Amino acid sequence: MAIFVLFGAVMVLVLLNVPIAIALGVVALVAILHAGGIAALANVPLVMYTGSTSFPLIAIPLFILAGAIMNASGISRRLIALSSAVFGFVRGALAQVTIVTSLFFAEISGSAVADAAALGTILIPAMKSKGYSKEFSAAVLSSASTLAVIIPPSIPMILYAAMADTSVVKLFVAGIVPGVLGGLLMMVIAYRFARLYNLPVEEKFDRRRVWAALKEASWSLVLPALILGGIFGGVVTATEGAALAVLAAVVIGTVIYRELNLKALYTAMIDGVVQTAVVMLLVAASALLGIHLTEIQAPQKLAAAAAALSNSRWLVLMLLNLLFLLLGLFLHSAAAIILVIPVVMPLVQAVGIDPVHFGIIVTINLGIGQQTPPVASVLTVACSIARADIWEVTKVNLWFIGVLLLVLLLSTYVPLVPLSLVRLFYGG
Amino acid sequence: MTARAIWRRRLEQVLQWITGALLVLLAVEVLAGIAFRAARRPLSWYDEVASVLLAWITYYGSALAALKRSHIAFPGLVNGMPRAGRFVALAIRETAVLGFFLVLAWQGTSILRVLAGETLVTVDIPVALTQSVIPIGAALFVVAELLNLPDRVAWAEGGKVVVSAQQDAAKELSH
């Protein structure tokens, strides 16, 4: 009962436009006052401080910084040139280029919004100039950008791993197959639209052009791949890998490409700091509420009650999928992870769901949430660049959301899809 | 430019410099930790200091996010309310935000006296210094919120707070 009162109070404050982190903090504050009086408030600054010092979460600002530096180094242009050289001969080539470039870019960036902003400003105008509708241009860019959170590195995965106390490295590995599968299926859908709209072919396939583009883009592909290899191989932690990615980005931008745009970099850095702070304040405030929830054993009681209704993990997974899809309509993914994961993890463990498997399911769900209005961050960026109406774009985007839903279903009910590489590399 | 706009701009610049410097320092510190470990001379303090830097980025960055109105919220319902409803919602919002951070600043200052004399486990840095970010960050958050208050009152009066779609979506840059 207490958990429903607490979350009800949080929801009321959120609906009244109180920032979610502060709604969590205020409700926790009242609960602490109620339980322990004014003396208990002395713990509040201590918990708010320790809640913001989680070492694994240092990877978040560092991956954002690495992505910002690479993007300020002209990397988007080179990746687009490479994709164009390889897929330019296909009908509707620019849509294919958008998806393939997003797959490449996902290996560097952990943020779908960053992908959409970086690639959209180049690819959406290019598509529109070739006669692609603005709705289709925005839809393909938006959905392809979501692959960034499924393919490693992924900021929601880092956050989930910290909240669920599970291995971020295994999560990264588990994201590879669903991410690539999603990209390939999106290419099929894009080809279908290309036939339907009679979209143009860009250029003939030319091996010399492919080789030249590959040489140009190789640094920006190989160095991040090596760093991810180091993380997967246990040579460095995810946080250290993120710091190495920053170093690699600086070397690529200043020594190899010599194109680092300092003004763009500073702006992106400050944006990154702000977004890190927003997420970390949520984490700290949830730690404050978490202490109270732990004291009253609310998640355990909820898990016991839910497990008493059904012990079927498939049924539980279906219900949790529905919950996350619903939350994705209204909540940003960091908020959804921070609010829900600590509460549902005891239930997930009680019915025997692998936390890495569940992490992938959560990530894909929230990736879909980035595409579904009214709160659809990535879609909003794409629509803003394309100057297209969000609901008109959504009509086209339903096909791509369908692909993500298919990947979600496969990942949920065929655990080998996300976990095959994890078992191959780490056993179990 | 009004005095409020000038102060808002100054505070924004100072917070941007501080948080930008903290981010660069964090990256350099973690890289130094890797380099020293590779040289078989691991730095015992590196993860503890990195965690402190993350906490500082969190609270100075949160004040900056407050100034830029970037904290994740759900304005959909209150935007559709009539004038009176907007004022009630605004009053609740400001009471919650200012109340929470004033309590944090008050308790955060009190706890610094208790922590006086203590240092971090791995390095001789006073805990009172590292934890000073809580009362200072909370106070800065309150200042940022107050600097934005006239705009929020104008919105409640019936004006429109213009937030571009890209700005709104940038709230989820970290996703």
Q: Residue A294 has what pLDDT? A: 79
pLDDT tens for each residue of A32-43: 999 889 999 999
User: How far is the C-alpha of A259 from the C-alpha of A262, rounded, in Å?
Assistant: 9
Helical ranges in A146-200 per DSSP H: 147-150, 155-164, 168-197
B169 pLDDT higher than 50? no
Q: If you write DSSP's letter for every residue of A356-381 in order, what string do you get?
A: HHHHHHHHHHHHHHTTSSSS-HHHHH
Structure tokens at A19: 């920032």
Q: If you write DSSP's letter for every residue of A377-423 in order, what string do you get?
A: HHHHHHHHHHT--HHHHHHHHHHHHHHHHHHHHHHHH-THHHHHHHH
A362 vs B contacts (CB less than 8 Å): none
A173 pLDDT higher than 90? yes
pLDDT tens for each residue of A394-421: 999 999 999 999 999 999 999 999 999 9
Which backbone phi and psi does B25 adopt, to 5 degrees?
Answer: -60, -40
Cβ–Cβ < 8 Å for A123, A85: no
Rg (CA), chain A: 22
pLDDT tens for each residue of A94-140: 999 999 999 988 888 778 888 888 889 889 999 998 899 999 999 99
Q: If you average pLDDT over every residue of chain B, what do you get?
A: 90
SS3 state of residue A285: helix
Q: Residue B45 has what pLDDT? A: 94
Contacts of B162 (CB under 8 A, 6+ apart): none
Cβ–Cβ < 8 Å for B170, B164: no
Cβ–Cβ < 8 Å for A101, A80: yes
Cβ–Cβ < 8 Å for B148, B66: yes
B76 pLDDT higher than 90? no
User: How confident is the model over B122-149, as a mean pLDDT?
Assistant: 97
A168 pLDDT higher than 50? yes
Q: Residue B162 has what pLDDT? A: 45
β-sheet bridge partners, residue B126: B119
Please name which of B146, B138, B116 lies closest in space to residue B55, comparing C-alpha atoms: B138
B88: exposed, middle or buried (C-beta count within 10 Å: 0-12, 13-18, 19+)? Answer: middle
B/e letters for A153-174, b = 16+ CB within 10 Å, e = fewer, are bbbbbbbbbbbbebbbbbbbbb
Q: Residue B102 has what pLDDT? A: 98
Interface of B with A in 85-144 (CB under 8 A): 89-90, 92-93, 96-97, 99-100, 103-104, 107-108, 110-111, 114, 131, 133-135
Contacts of A376 (CB under 8 A, 6+ apart): A369, A370, A390
Structure tokens at A162: 């910290």
Structure tokens at A269: 């850095």
CA distances, A235 to each of A42, A75, A107 (Å): 41, 26, 18
pLDDT tens for each residue of B12-36: 999 999 999 999 999 999 999 999 9
Q: If you write DSSP's letter for every residue of A309-373 in order, what string do you get?
A: H---HHHHHHHHHHHHHHHHHHS-HHHHHHHHHHHHHHHHHHTT--HHHHHHHHHHHHHHHTTSS
Query: CB distance from A94 to chain B under 8 Å?
Result: no
User: In the block, which residue shows the tokens 């992505």?
Assistant: A67
A218 pLDDT higher than 60? yes
A79 pLDDT tier (thresholds 50, 70, 90): confident
Contacts of A262 (CB under 8 A, 6+ apart): A72
B160 pLDDT tier (thresholds 50, 70, 90): low
Q: Under an 8 A CB cutoff, do B134 and A45 touch?
A: yes
Q: Which of A17, A64, A275 sits opposite B78 (nearest CB)?
A: A17
User: How far is the C-alpha of A112 from the C-alpha of B175, rounded, in Å?
Assistant: 6
pLDDT tens for each residue of A142-165: 999 999 999 999 999 999 999 999
User: How far is the C-alpha of A426 from the C-alpha of A428, rounded, in Å?
Assistant: 7
Which backbone phi and psi does B39 adopt, to 5 degrees?
Answer: -85, 10
Nearest-CA residue of chain B relative to A28?
A: B100
Q: Residue A112 has what pLDDT? A: 87
SS3 state of residue B119: strand
User: How confident is the model over A225-243, as a mean pLDDT?
Assistant: 90
Domain count, chain B: 1
Size of interface A-B (CB pairs under 8 A): 246
B157 pLDDT higher than 50? yes
User: How far is the C-alpha of A16 from the C-alpha of B78, rounded, in Å?
Assistant: 6
B68 pLDDT higher than 50? yes
Cβ–Cβ < 8 Å for A95, A193: yes
User: How far is the C-alpha of A48 from the C-alpha of A257, rounded, in Å?
Assistant: 42
A227 pLDDT tier (thresholds 50, 70, 90): confident
Question: Domain range spanning residue A259?
Answer: 2-426
Structure tokens at A78: 């080179």
Q: Residue A361 has what pLDDT? A: 97
B123 pLDDT higher than 50? yes
Question: Domain range spanning residue B46?
Answer: 3-174
Highest mean pLDDT out of A81-95, A173-187, A217-231: A173-187
Domain count, chain A: 1
Taking the CA of residue B27 and the nearest CA in chain A, the distance in Å comes to 6
CA distances, A361 to each of A57, A231, A316 (Å): 20, 22, 12
A358 pLDDT higher than 70? yes
Q: Residue B161 has what pLDDT? A: 57
User: How confident is the model over A192-215, as a mean pLDDT?
Assistant: 90
B50 vs A contacts (CB less than 8 Å): 55, 58, 239
Q: Residue A118 has what pLDDT? A: 82
Q: Under an 8 A CB cutoff, do B61 and A280 touch?
A: yes
β-sheet bridge partners, residue B119: B126
pTM for the full model? 0.87
User: How confident is the model over A308-316, as a mean pLDDT?
Assistant: 82
Q: Under an 8 A CB cutoff, do A13 and B134 touch?
A: no
